[in-house]
Amino acid sequence: MATAYLNCRIKDSDDTAFLVEGHLISRTGSDEEIRSLLREGDETVELSGMYVVPGFADTHMHLLGLGEYLSTLMLNHCTGSEEVLELTRKALPSLKEGQWLRGRGYHDNLQIDKASLDAISTDVPIVLTRACGHVACVNSKALELAGITEDTEAEEGDIDYANGIIKENALRLLKKAWKEPDEETLKEYIRKGAEYCNAHGITAVGSDDFVSFTSSYKPALKAFEHLAMENGMNLRVSEQCEFHDPEEFSRFLDEGYTAGVGSDAFVIGPLKLILDGSLGARTAAMTMPYSDDPDSCGILIYDDEEVETFFRLAQSYNMPVISHAIGDAALDQILDVYEQNMYEGNPLHNGLVHCQIMRKDQLKKILKLSLSCYIQTLFIDYDAGILEERVGERAKYSYPFATLYRNVPTANGSDAPVELPDPLKGIELAVTRKSLTSGRTMNASEAMTVKEALDSFTDRAYELLGMENCGKIRKGYFADFAVLSADPEETEPEKIHEIPVMMTVMDGRTVYER
């Protein structure tokens, strides 16, 4: 049985209709041409002039983290400490015996500390994680169960015991104390995350999940593999593989895994390294102190030797490396490693995730090395409000998204659950560079065109993810697409985020309908 989608406008095409058979788009053409191919029992879907785009691809996120976030206490809408504490208090009665109260998503430097969480409960462990995921505030019970005392030393992280503030790798002490989610729970997170993505027109993601909340890469890997085998994936996933240390990575390679191993639904992607923290939490590693905190230069997670060990191991197995680098010191660290060890022309597509605070010389080097850049224009929404206070003059060459897009392989994403996935909002922010929340604009000379921004979530995103036969409405391509009620190129830029996604189809199946 085939399905004909009729009377639509198609991105980058003059056709008005297309035919889907099984997983694939089997023909495109005019309405009459496609109608003439229909046989008895075939279906037609009338799209009334709506705009069809290839399913959006979000090139960097944490799908398990997104699913978990959607299942726990969401604090992203909170505007003040009182609201965060009130929601936390209200969540307490719904917990099961022995369960931790975990929330995530607060943004601002709220007045939440150990004492304010202890006032809610000293019996139930409470962990509230900042939106960026690099800092958490905890109560006394959580510290006790995690075995953290005044004398605990934090390697590559920071513990403020008195105030219950835990940063970066010290967060692993907390994760160790949580009961690891079983496979059913992990699968449920994947399904929930995928459902949210589908509702926003997304049919593929680059996702970093291995160390999210398990002590080894295996539980997450198995949950994805099993779900893919059971045909339970409504999203194509390229796994951005993160490990606790080079030894764990080595064990993974010994099992026969490397980039490209997998199926159309779940495939092993690049090695992911997290080199520093976030701008919002002032843990991004800077060469000079923060403009609004002269005592802090942020945190580098690894020493140079470890980064090089990871890198060489990956390259010897033809596995690309993509590195989370937000501050200029983290960028210096990885650019040195790339410059000294990479093959010329970057044939393995090593890259950078985020590409935020940088100096002019670093931008030049990124272009010279032809690094793949995984950007998040959605970050402009929050960061436009804090960038200049945090880094002063250094804002000038930061978030240079148009320059990157026009010179090196660059595509877009959300880093969910840091921001909730929303390609249309991401497209708007790429174009306007103006925060919807604070109204502030960030370096408007780096604005992308609507066409570029759309491509950064479609064609270019699939190239970056290495997913073939995806990203176009064309014969022989996977039937992965989204139907929008309007063409973003014909919409006022400030209204692009309001365009409704009417339908999402993945692998020939309707996975979302408004």
Footprint of Zn ion (CB under 5 A): 415
CA distance 501 to 480: 14
Q: How many CB atoms lie within 10 A of CB 198?
A: 23
Taking a C-beta distance cutoff of 8 angstroms, is the pair 273, 242 a contact?
A: yes
Which pair of tokens denotes residue 344? 């010329």
154: DSSP letter: P
Provide, rounded to whole angstroms, the least separation between the CB of residue 418 and Zn ion.
7
Asked if residues 222 and 239 have their Cβ atoms less than 8 Å apart, the reply is no
CB of 416 to Zn ion, least distance (A): 8
Cβ contact 381:435 at 8 Å: yes
In whole angstroms, the minimum distance from the beta carbon of 274 to Zn ion comes to: 8
Shortest Å distance, C-beta 305 to Zn ion: 24
Taking the complex as a whole, the smallest distance from the CB of residue 133 to Zn ion amounts, in Å, to: 8
> What is the rounded distance in angstroms from the CA atom of residue 242 to the CA atom of residue 239?
9
Closer to Zn ion by Cβ: residue 415 or 419: 415
Please identify the residue of the shown chain whose CB is closest to the bound Zn ion.
415
Question: Which residue in 333, 360, 338, 463 sits closest to 409, CA to CA?
Answer: 463
- Of the two residues 351 and 493, which places its CB atom closer to Zn ion in the complex? 351
Asked if 269 and 136 touch (Cβ cutoff 8 Å), the reply is no
Nearer to Zn ion, 242 or 480 (CB): 242
Of 205 and 391, the one with the shorter C-beta distance to Zn ion is 205
Between 8 and 420, name the residue whose CB sits nearer to Zn ion: 420
Report, in Å, the least distance between residue 273 CB and Zn ion: 11
- Please name the residues in contact with 499: beta carbons below 8 A apart, sequence gap of 6 or more: 424, 484, 485, 486, 488, 491
Determine contact, residues 450/488, Cβ cutoff 8 Å.
yes
Select 133 or 488, whichever has its Cβ closest to Zn ion. 133
Least gap, CB of 287 to Zn ion (angstroms): 22
Complete DSSP assignment for 258-306: -TT-B-SSEEEEEEEEE-B--TTTT-S--SS-BTTBTT----B-S-HHH
Residue with smaller CB distance to Zn ion, 413 or 488: 413
Closest contact distance (angstroms) between CB of 421 and Zn ion is 12
Q: Are 506 and 198 in contact (CB under 8 A)?
A: yes
Closer CB to Zn ion, 308 or 415, in the complex: 415
